[in-house]
A and B are shown apart, each in its own frame.
Chain A
Amino acid sequence: MNTDIDTIIKKHLHRVAPEADLDQLKADEELGPTLDIDSMDFYNMMVGISEELQVEIPEEDYGKLRTLKSIKEFLSRSATESG
């Protein structure tokens, strides 16, 4: 399950930052400054992920999802809760 989530996050990250080497990205690095993505890129990425995985991302969690690790944890948690 975790590998799937990882692939999906990276696929959507690749869409907004096509030239970034995502294999070099560390799990706890902040995505914004590391990949130079802005709030619209981030928004597009989260919309893509939530559509693909059919997960709602509550407003209060949205602001906390700033690293690969935090997004992965959140999505794994949502998957467990719903499934």
Chain B
Amino acid sequence: MGKFIMPSLGSQMIEAKLIQWHVQPGDTVKKGDIIGEIDTEKGLIDVEVFEDGVITELVAQEGEVVPVGSVMAVINGKGKAEEVEVKPSETPKEKKKEVRSEGEQEVITKKPAIEKRETLKQRPKASPLARRVAEDLNIDLKKVTGSGSGGTIHRKDVEAFAQQKTADETFEKELDMAEHVSKAEGKSMRQSIAAAMSKSNKEIPHYYLETDIDMKAALEWLSDENKNRPVDKRLLPPMLLIKAVANALTEVPELNGFWTDEAMHIEEGIHVGFAVSLRQGGLVIPAILDADLKSLDEIRSDFVDMVTRAREGHLKSREISSATITITSLGERGAEKVYGVIYPPQVALLGFGKITDRTRAVDGSIGIRPTLSVVLAGDHRATDGHTGSRFLEKLNAQLQHPEDL
């Protein structure tokens, strides 16, 4: 028996209202089917089911506000009931990690084994008093930084850590509270962005790397390519950029993934999120799933489809909860450079400015070239500038050979 639970679509989401079911008890569903529609701070979202089976019970009622992680429906898995994941009830904060994406689930299931190995190999060095205090305060010594010689943890380190932890938890509570209050006022998207960005700014030590990319080759190729395409199949620069980012990430995967539990978890799937601004204000970040494996044409149709659905509603739950990296692109009317704020728990954000004609040194003389400023925001806990630089080099190389994208 599988339980279909309210998915978490962002680190700050607590609950959502079930607008309607698209299925009834007795219906057969396949992995990826849309079984219902929920109203969230990101607009109306279609929720997908993650297993094959038969719906045996619809627990949540239409119109009901359902907390993240609560059971919405019961599904009888196809012949392998014991393998179907049944999620125990926990606090919403812990749940979000489990339901985020299949890729992340893999990482999480692998984690205990790694931790066990680390425990055997190196138990943190700590004074006996520090150990006792840590036990009293229920603190994991592995997370504490020792100030003694050779990194030995003393009592004061444990106490300082405990104090910080309490402050963090209070902050989280305040954020959750702010979201609750704002929901009542109908401003939830703004508040949700505020909460995520405040968390990012508070917790993520950002570093910024900036480079200019010569877009002559890419734009000429695009223009030639578009001559042979009808209007509705034409390629726009952001589609090229998404594909180039995905390809570059296959070469520098360190920027693709999440910083959770004080460690970097590189994701295998490259899901490129891109910020779509909404006319009524605010933005949503749908992701093109497995962008590295898709052709430029597949990316084109995903992109057009998702931008339209982002603005009209009906993004799918997986599309807005799976991004492993985010792109923000200001388009043709924006500023020339954008220094973005990383969307936690991701570890990198790429800001693309407006492509403008600028003077550049080309083959020993001065030329005027269409130029794109790219700013990479990286999480310094997860990577260093060296990695970021390597990524920007690869990205540049991708865009110099658009025909290979």
Chain A interfacial positions (CB closer than 8 Å to B): 17-19, 32-33, 36, 38-40, 43-44, 46-47, 50-51, 56-60, 62
Contacts and interface: CB of A to CB of B under 8 A. Distances in A.
Main secondary structure of the interface of B (DSSP, over half): helix
Nearest to A58: B227
Contacts of B238: 39
A50 B231 contact: yes
Interface string B222-235: 01001101111010
List the 3 closest pairs (A to B, CB-CB), nearest first. A59-B226, A47-B232, A59-B227
B307 interface: yes
Interface residues of B, number: 18
Contact of B333 (A17, A19, A33, A51): A33
Nearest to A32: B333
7 contacts: A38-B333, A40-B304, A43-B304, A50-B232, A58-B227, A59-B223, A59-B234
Given A38-B333, A39-B331, A58-B227, A51 B232 contact: yes
Contacts of A33: 333
Contacts of B232: 47, 50-51
Contacts of A51: 232
Contacts, number: 43
Contact of A17 (B223, B227, B236, B279): B279
A40 B307 contact: yes
Nearest to B312: A15
Interface string B210-242: 000000000000010011011110101010000
Contacts of B236: 39-40, 43
Contacts of B277: 38
B100 to A, nearest CB: 27
A39 B227 CA distance: 18
Contact of A44 (B308, B331, B333): B308
A37 B119 CA distance: 56
Given A19-B279, A33-B333, A38-B331, A43 B227 contact: no
B332 interface: yes
A17 B307 CA distance: 14
Given A50-B230, A59-B234, 10 more contacts: A32-B332, A32-B333, A38-B333, A39-B236, A40-B304, A43-B304, A46-B231, A56-B231, A59-B226, A62-B226
B224 to A, nearest CB: 9
